[in-house]
Structure formats: structure tokens, C-alpha cells
Amino acid sequence: MIQPTVLAGLDDAVQHALATCDDSALNVLGYGEISVVLGVPADRPEYACKRLPVFSTRAGFDRYRQAFDGYLKALTERGIDLVESHVMTLDGGDGSVVGYCIQAVLPTESLGPNVLRAEQPAVDHPVLEGITSAIVKAVDQQVGLDAQLSNWAWADGRLTYFDVTTPMLRTQGDSWDFDVDIYLTASPWLLRGAIRRYVLPDTVKRYHNPRAILRDLCGNLIKERLEPWVPAAIQACNRHIDRPITEEEVRKDYTSDARLWEAMLRVRRADRWWQRKVRRRSYPYLLPGPIER
């Protein structure tokens, strides 16, 4: 596993990028909606380090860590093979905690989108069958899953899941077992209340609804420029549910989601400009450039 001094050096580079608006020293492997994955070492990455939102207190991080460990245990018990994942922390210096999820870098050709991109659409493809079966086997009101194709890898006949940094575990009610407000800090302060009230509840529900997750899986193929695979994916999904998913439904849902996330990204870019240019403060998140959806 990565050495603490190496992780500290990575975070120093992140802080420099945030302060100078120059991320050329970083090897960005990918962006999530609110996070970034960095390769270490930058020249020949062996580790993928996903930077978590900064926790304002150690207690907040400890609650997250407990949910993270519980989520990995729950997924494993439900038959999902996981990429080995570890959370490491750094002292933020003001009582805050900076967290990273550390995983081994996976071969590019093993990533779900690249596997399907190299082959012809087939409803019986083992990746489609493996993901759809995992969804209906693992997901319920307690355990959720973000099962889009880009969160899976396929190698040597084994399907593995690696997007584990949002612990979608509900053991005490309708909310996840950690303080989800940590993710709202990526949004402008004035919008957090509206997002908490109008966006977050539906988002949480969707990740615990097998049919909605299957539909998202099909829609993600559009984002990945794998549209020829959409009909096969829909057929594979419909084998597992009573109410069939339609292509019209998939495209409508994908368009709606793409507009929402693009609007939120534009707002965050505007907030970054405001913080840097008007308030003369560093912006605490690395944002992607234009995204093709």
C-alpha cells in the first residue's frame, strides 16, 4: 500500500494546484461528479487515489469510515467482488481531516466501457449479465449501488466493482449512515438547502431501486459513446424485472440527468470564479473541463 509520506506529497501537489490554478503536476485519472482520482506516481501510476471531501472534524470522518467499512462488508456478503480499497487520512491542520481512497490502478483494457467497446453488442455478454445480476442480488432498501458500466472492471473472467467511496448503506432509516452534507460542501452555500431538500432524497432513493439502477446502467452507455449496446443492455436488464425498461425511457432519463449534472457543474465553475476572482480565495475542488454527454 502507498506510504503516508507519498500520500502527503500528493496532497501537497493538490494544494498547490488549488492555490495556483495549475494542475500540470497531477496525473488526473478521472473525475467523479464531486471528486477527482489521481495517479501515483504521476509518471507511471501504480495507485489510484480518490480524494474525498474534506471532513471538518475527526468525528465526522470516523462516522464516514464506519459506514465505508460496513458498506464494503455488505457488498461482499451479497456476492459482489470488490477491488481492494483502503481509506487513508491526513491532518488538515485545523482539526479537519483529508481522506483518500486508495486502490491499485487497473489495466485500461479491463475497464467496463473499454471491454464493450472492443466487442460487438450481445445481450448474453458476461459483463452485462454479471452487472445486471449483481444489481438485483445486492440492492434493497438497506444497500444501494451506483452500477454504471464505468464503475466495473472485467479481467480473467472476473467482474469487479470499484466505486465504493459513497457508502450507500442505510441501517437506521431513509438516510445513509454517514453525514451526506459532506458532499454538499462542493456546491455553493446558497444552493445547499435546495439540493438537500429537492435533489438529495430522490437521488438516495434511486440508488436503492433495482429498476432505476438498471435504467441508469443503460443510460450510462450513451455517455460512454456505446449507443449500439443500448438495446442489448435493455434486454439483459429486462430479464430481471417485471416492468420492462424501454429505450425511450432510458433516453429521456439520461437526458434529464445529463442536464442536471451539467447545470450543477456550471454553477460550481461560477462559484470557483467568484471565490478566486472576487473573494481572492482558493477554490477547494478540482473541476473537469468540458464533458461530452
Residue-wise pLDDT for 8-34, tens only, equals 999 999 999 998 888 889 999 998 767
Distance CA 155, CA 159 (A): 7
Which one is predicted more confidently, 257 or 137?
137
pLDDT single digits (tens) 116-140: 999 999 999 999 999 999 999 999 9
pLDDT for 57 beyond 70: yes
Per-residue pLDDT, 292: 65
Taking each helix axis from N to C end, the angle separating 230-238 and 126-138, rounded to the nearest 10 degrees, works out to: 40
Distance of CA 203 to the CA centre of its chain: 13
As a whole-number percent, the residues of the chain with pLDDT over 70 amount to 98
Distance of CA 124 to the CA centre of its chain: 26
User: What mean pLDDT value characterizes the chain?
Assistant: 93
pLDDT single digits (tens) 155-198: 999 999 999 999 999 998 888 999 888 888 888 888 888 888 88
Using the structure block, give the residue that is written with the C-alpha cell 468540458.
Answer: 290
Per-residue pLDDT, 117: 98
Per-residue pLDDT, 174: 84
Distance CA 240, CA 61 (A): 37
Distance of CA 265 to the CA centre of its chain: 15
Per-residue pLDDT, 220: 95
Distance CA 24, CA 11 (A): 14
Rg of the chain on CA atoms, in Å: 19
pTM of the predicted model as reported, rounded to 2 decimal places: 0.93
As a whole-number percent, the residues of the chain with pLDDT over 90 amount to 72
Mean pLDDT of 106-117: 98
Which distant-in-sequence residues (6+ apart) come within 8 Å of 190 by Cβ? none
Per-residue pLDDT, 264: 87
Using the structure block, give the residue that is written with the C-alpha cell 495517479.
Answer: 39
| Residue 130 amino acid letter | G
pLDDT band at 7 (very low <50, low <70, confident <90, very high): very high
